[in-house]
Structure 1
Amino acid sequence: MKECSVAVGQAMRRLSSALLRLSPEDLDKLTDPSYDLEIKMVRRRVKEESDSSAIEDVSSIVEKLTGFSSREDAANFLDSNYSSKKPLEQIARFLDIAVTKKDRVDGLRDKIIEGTTGARIRSEAIKGSE
C-alpha cells in the first residue's frame, strides 16, 4: 500500500508542475465543462541516448577529407563511414556550413566535399600547382 501512495504522490507532483506551466487561457479551459480533459504520456529521450552517435574527433575527419586527391575519393569515404544524416550534420556544422532540416544525406555530403576536398582542388587549380 505504501508503494501505491508514493506513486500517487509522485504523479500528483508531476501533474501540479504541468498545471503551473499552463497559460491563463488553458487554465480557464480546465474549468469550462464544454472541454474534455485528456492526459497524454510521452517518453522523454535521455540526453545520453540522443548524443550516442556524436563523432569523437571531427577535426581529424575534416583533415582527412581535405587530403583526398579527388571528390570521388572523399564521397566514397563519407559513404562508407558516415552514411546517415546526423554525423554529416555534425561535420557540416564544424565546417560552418549551413544545415537545414530539408537537407538530405546526399546534399550534405556534397556540401561537405565542396567545403573540404573541393576547396583544396580549386585552390590548387587557381595557383596552377599540381
Structure 2
Amino acid sequence: MPGKYVATSSVSINAPTSRVWAVLTDHDFIEEFMFGTDVVTDWTVGGPIVWRGIWEGTAYEDKGTVLAFQPGQRLVVTHFSPLSRMQDKPENYHTLAWTLESEAGKTYLTLAQDNNASAEEAAHSKGMWDAVVTGVKSIAERE
C-alpha cells in the first residue's frame, strides 16, 4: 500500500562535497555503508540500479532506476525490494533522494525516502537511513 510519509535523515560531514559524492557513488564504499550490498549501475539517468546482498540471513535483489545524477549535488533513484512482500508495480516503489549542500568546506547530506505507508514505517526507515548516512560520514571523514 503506497503512502504519503517521508523518512528523512541528515548529517553534517567534515569533508567537501566532492569527497562525499565519491563515497556515495563508489561501489566499494557503497558496499561498506549499505551493510554489504553489492550495487550494479552505470549511473546513467533512466538506467537501472540493482542492490544485491543478504539481509538477516535472506538473500535479496532490490531494483530501481536512476532518476537524477548531478555530481556533487543530487542523486535520485527509485527503489523496490521484493522483501517488502508487495507487488512489483510503480506505486510500491520508494524514491531515494540524496542531496548534498556545501557549507564552508563541510557537506550537509540529506537522504529522503518517500512513499512510506505510515508514520511507523517512516520511523523504521529513518532508523536504517540514519545508520547509512552516519556510515557515509565515517567513510568520507576518514580519508
- TM-score when normalising by structure 1: 0.26
Larger % of helix: which? Answer: 1
Which structure has the larger Rg?
1
* TM-score normalised by the chain length of structure 2: 0.24
Higher strand share: 2
